[in-house]
Amino acid sequence: MADAMLGRLARWLRVLGFDTVYDEALDDPVLVRIADADGRVLLTRDRHLLRDLRPLRAHEVRQDDPMAQLVDLVHALQLAPPAGLFTRCLVCNTELPAPLPEEELPALLPFPRAQVPGPVRRCPTCGRLYWHGSHARRMRAALDRALPGWGTAG
């Protein structure tokens, strides 16, 4: 669970397939209650939250750069490389289902199917569409620079 200051880190964790709750509207006491009740590690940069609310499991994020935050977290929590990338919605954290059937794509895509490489997935919760375009290649490359070998998962 990531606090309001760690939205970009939460997205990177979701890219890696980690179930990451992030809602910038939640107050600190609510964050701690949810994290404790669900057995989650609360990720925060807020030392006061850690000192005053004392979550059961927490990690203080000290870096400013989201990729440096990710590397530190992977090492601190001894996270294993994922079996695959892009298995969760980056917006709402829902697990993405199997790719959509080809016959559904023309009505959903903003441009011709020929311009969309590979399979297309749709988040069942928020409806966002995902495919492996140039943005995914850039994200994989960034992961490989920060965590060698992780950008080639799945």
Q: How many CB atoms lie within 10 A of CB 115?
A: 10
Overall pTM surpassing 0.85 (yes/no): yes
Break the chain down into helix, strand, coil percent, rounded to 5.
45, 10, 45
Residue 115: pLDDT above 90? no
Tens-digit pLDDT profile for residues 100-112 = 999 999 899 888 8
Q: How far is CA 93 from CA 18, 53, 76, in A?
A: 9, 25, 22
4-44: pLDDT as tens digits: 999 999 999 999 999 999 999 999 999 999 999 999 999 99
- pLDDT tens per residue, range 56-107: 999 999 999 999 999 999 999 999 999 999 999 999 999 999 999 999 998 9
Q: pLDDT higher for 153 or 48? A: 48
